[in-house]
Amino acid sequence: PEPVFCTVDTSRVPEDHIGDTTPAVLRRTIEQEMRTSSDQPSWRCVAVTRDGRNTNRLRVIGRNEEELKRIKAIIVAK
């Protein structure tokens, strides 16, 4: 099956918060929120990668559309 993902554009993040936009920090934030908001205390993100052609874009890969909707809501809220 085709992977389900969303792209996060970090180009408009202020300079003082640029350290919060790494794949590791984004993954940790998503995992913490998903674990507290669901009944899966050991939930893990499939993958968070940086776009090779544009370093301001991060790709978050999910298991299905429903999970991706929850991930998008977390990203928008943060």
Q: What is the pLDDT of residues 49-67, one digit of tens each?
A: 999 999 999 999 999 999 9
pLDDT score, position 78 = 81
- 39 falls in which pLDDT band (50, 70, 90)? confident
Q: Has residue 24 got a pLDDT over 80?
A: yes
Nearest Cα neighbor of 58 from 21, 19, 12, 16 is 21
Give the 3-state secondary structure of the chain: CCCEEEEEECCCCCHHHHHHHCHHHHHHHHHHHHHHHCCCCCCCCCEEEECCCCCCEEEEEECCHHHHHHHHHHHHHC
Sequence ranges of the domains in the chain: 4-77
Q: Has residue 1 got a pLDDT over 80?
A: no
Q: What CATH number matches the domain at 4-77, 3.30.1370, 3.40.50, 1.10.3470, 3.10.450? A: 3.30.1370
pLDDT score, position 3 = 84
pLDDT score, position 2 = 82
